[in-house]
Structure 1
């Protein structure tokens, strides 16, 4: 039964501490074959005046935003066609790659590219998976697409996976995979 103890400065909200406990539990599960209920995480909090580094008292760093929530908010803005909000969630050097496309760096490129493909498309989500890899947060959004082809014929149940990279609270990359071309070819 693994027991993990972490020492943190006071100042994090209950939600942030819960996120930290879940992330530590997940990290243990990557290596140790224990069920979640067998993993104990204890957070020990200390007031900032009880901690010094380099002779200086320090304040806790602000918690990073939940990367899965960033992706949810971005996708909701895109579906609502609130492009200004969605664009504001993108970081410097942002790239998105869809099947059979070159990387796009601006949402207007995506809108122009998709105009001749369908009248509209929306997503039903089966889940969001978040992890940390190579210095960025990685979020996978998965589910199915539904909408209407250009001739007005409805479609649904088309599988998709979107992979996002988040750095500094901003989306810096989006890769999209889906079965739209295969379904359309039928």
Structure 2
């Protein structure tokens, strides 16, 4: 039975500690074939005045937001066409790639690209997978199906998609989109 002990300076909320416990359990299970209940994670908290580094006490940094929740909120804002809220979730150097496009850096480019393709599109999510990326980057994949309406008013549904996001410091810096819309559009 793997046992992981984590020492934290007091100040993290219950949700932050829950996320840490889940992430550490998943990290162990990535290597060790143990059931979740077979992995023990113990979080020990200490008062800020009980921890010194360089002769000084330290205050804990705030926890980063859950990257999957950032992506979920971003996609909800995009679907609602709340572009200002979506832009606020983008980090410096944000870039997105959609099928058949080069890099786009502003949501207005995406709107212009989509305008001659369909009237609207909605997503049904089958899952979100978040993981560490290179360096300080987080990676989130979301997958599911697309539904909506072609320009001629015909409905479509069940079109597969996968989106991949990179986040840095809780902000989305890259979005890559793959879907079968081109194949479905050719049959419409």
**TM-score, normalised via structure 2 length:** 0.98
Partner of 2:117: 117
Partner of 1:155: 156
> Deviation string for 1:29-85 (max 9, x for gaps)?
111011111000000000000000000000111101110010011001000000011
Partner of 2:17: 17
Equivalent runs, 1:103-142 vs 2, <5 Å: 103-135=103-135, 136-142=137-143
Equivalent runs, 1:28-107 vs 2, <5 Å: 28-107=28-107
CA distance in 2, matches of 1:19, 1:121: 32
Structure 1 SS opposite 2:185? helix
CA distance in 2, matches of 1:134, 1:117: 34
Structure 2 SS opposite 1:119? strand
Q: CA deviation at 1:90?
A: 0.7
> Deviation string for 1:85-139 (max 9, x for gaps)?
1111111111000111001000000000000000000000011000001020000
Structure 2 SS opposite 1:30? helix
Q: How well do the aligned residues superpose, as a CA RMSD in angstroms? A: 0.5
Q: CA deviation at 1:168?
A: 1.2
Any runs of at least 4 consecutive aligned residues in structure 1 with deviations exceeding 6 A, and if so which? none
Structure 2 SS opposite 1:174? strand
CA distance in 2, matches of 1:9, 1:18: 15
CA distance in 1, matches of 2:61, 2:82: 31
* Runs (5+) with no aligned partner, structure 1: none
Q: CA deviation at 1:169?
A: 1.3
CA distance in 2, matches of 1:37, 1:180: 41
* Runs (5+) with no aligned partner, structure 2: none
CA distance in 2, matches of 1:172, 1:14: 28
